[in-house]
Amino acid sequence: MKKRSTSRAAPTRRARAKGPSAKPSRGQRGLAKANLPATGAEPLDIDANRRLLNRYRFVLHESLRLLTGWLPKAATFELKCEIGRTIWENALHVNALYLRLREIQSPAFQKPTDAALVTLMEELPNAPDEFALALGLYRVVTPSLIAALESHETATFPNSDLPSVYAIKHALLDLRARLARVEPLLEHAARTGKITPAALAWAEYISLLLTACGGVSGLGKRPEIPLVAPVGRAKFQAPREANRDERFSNLAADFSAMPDETDYAGHTVEEFERYSTEMLAAETVGLVMFLAPSMPWEFEFDSARHLYDEVRHCLMGYEWMRGHGMDPFKSPQYLHVFKWRSQFPPVMQYCLLTMGNEVHAFPYRHRRVEAHKESGDRLSEQFVRYDIADETQHVRFGKHWLPELLKQVGEKRSLEKYTADVLKVWESQYRTGKLTINVE
């Protein structure tokens, strides 16, 4: 067999040609075409790109923030859970856009110069009720955001701007799935008379505000239309009490002694019934986030995860109870715990939760893992082990962010002294069940 020569042939005159007159090869022409938008239109330039990405980030970010305040206020359980999930997913998408924006603008987060868009997001939380809020956010604003992202995905440079395309594709997956989950909730609310004329008027108002800013993208027509808030508008204020819907029949129960751990069956029922009430922890994290808007983005990102972890723990309790033939809506809700925590400054609420409830839960949780193992109850064992993993991270969050929260409020005590003082309140009131609630 003849050995192939490794020497290269001399370049042809055509290949040596240089300058504007040289024709690109077929491969070069294909590469250039691949880096143009699928629409064939002129691609977005980088200035338009960052302006649009910042608008999407702003809408997602402000939606997250307003929902942290609304989480305790919403009563319908399924909607409350969806709000918690929206907060977490929005945090993931805001973070993805943050990582992209810091590469193409400084600072990464900038308040949009479009006053109409700012007005839209400032008005959104002032809904007359939870379903008015849901209509405005999920039926009006979110579809416009999806349309803007779909257009952007195909209008930008698919290669040069791939980091933006990647973030957009993942956001679209979640946003479309979100609407598929929420729409049945809204349809059920309409059938049961929970969507009032005031809620419909509010949704129409939000639609007009959205039109006034040219949609989420800002690229739509902006007709001259009167913008008068409907009579149902209610200036949003952070709630001091948590709401539950009419299916919950035991709202103000006091803590009762759990069956002894030697009574495995009886204690396990109470254990998972209490998991089903962990929405209270999610609501406290949400209130802290809402009342501490000047904290760094990283705090919001960690806290959004903390919040949704607690929603998942609540759902874990529901899953366990339903699997054992129990009705979770009959569980005591201990709503006075949220009311008790909410009377304190945000930093103290955060300390009570992370350095009180969460730090001190580990010995008990580890005992329960062993008890479930011994009984052969794999499901309960796995549930508690996942809970331990989440709570370990929450304690890390607390240790990391408490110093920053204390710094922001000008606290003079050391972290150790402040924590010790707060834990005295936790021990004397929460642990004993003798909660002192100041009535204004």
The answer for residues whose C-beta is within 8 angstroms of residue 115's C-beta and 6 or more apart is none
Task: Please give the mean pLDDT across all residues of the chain.
Answer: 91
Q: Do domains 46-212 and 264-430 have the same CATH topology?
A: yes
Three-class DSSP labels, the chain: CCCCCCCCCCCCHHHHCCCCCCCCCHHHHHHHHHCCCCCCCCCCCHHHHHHHHHHHHHHHHHHHHHHHHHHHHCCCHHHHHHHHHHHHHHHHHHHHHHHHHHHHCCCCCCCCCCHHHHHHHHHHHHCCCHHHHHHHHHHHHHHHHHHHHHHHHHHCCCCCCHHHHHHHHHHHHHHHHHHHHHHHHHHHHHHCCCCCHHHHHHHHHHHHHHHHCCCCCCCCCCCCCCCCCCCCCCCCCCCCCCCCCCCCCCCCCCCCCCCCCCCHHHHHHHHHHHHCCCHHHHHHHHHHHHHCCCCCHHHHHHHHHHHHHHHHHHHHHHHHHHHCCCCHHHCCCCHHHHHHHHCCCHHHHHHHHHHHHHHHHHHHHHHHHHHHHHHCCHHHHHHHHHHHHHHHHHHHHHHHHHHHHHHHCCCCCCHHHHHHHHHHHHHHHHCCCCCCCCCC
Give 113's contacts (C-beta < 8 A, 6+ positions apart): none
The whole-model pTM stands at 0.90
pLDDT at 39: 56
CA–CA gap between residue 390 and residue 320 (Å, rounded)? 18
Q: What is the pLDDT of residues 276-288, one digit of tens each?
A: 999 999 999 999 9
pLDDT value at residue 256: 74
Does 1.10.3720.10 match the CATH number of domain 46-212? no
End-to-end CA distance of the chain: 99
Cα torsion 403, 406, 408, 413 to 10°: value is: -120
Residue type, 319: E
Q: Give the C-alpha separation, 273 to 350, whole Å.
A: 24
Tokens of 329: 């809506």
pLDDT-above-70 percentage for the chain: 90
Nearest to 259 by CA among 281, 274, 280, 279: 274
- Given this model, what pLDDT does residue 38 score? 58
User: So what's the pLDDT on residue 367?
Assistant: 97
Residues of the chain below pLDDT 50: 1-22, 28-32, 439-440
- pLDDT on residue 8: 41
- Fold exhibited by the domain 264-430: Ferritin (1.20.1260)
Domain boundaries, the chain: 46-212, 264-430
Do residues 271 and 324 lie in contact, with contact meaning Cβ atoms separated by under 8 Å? no
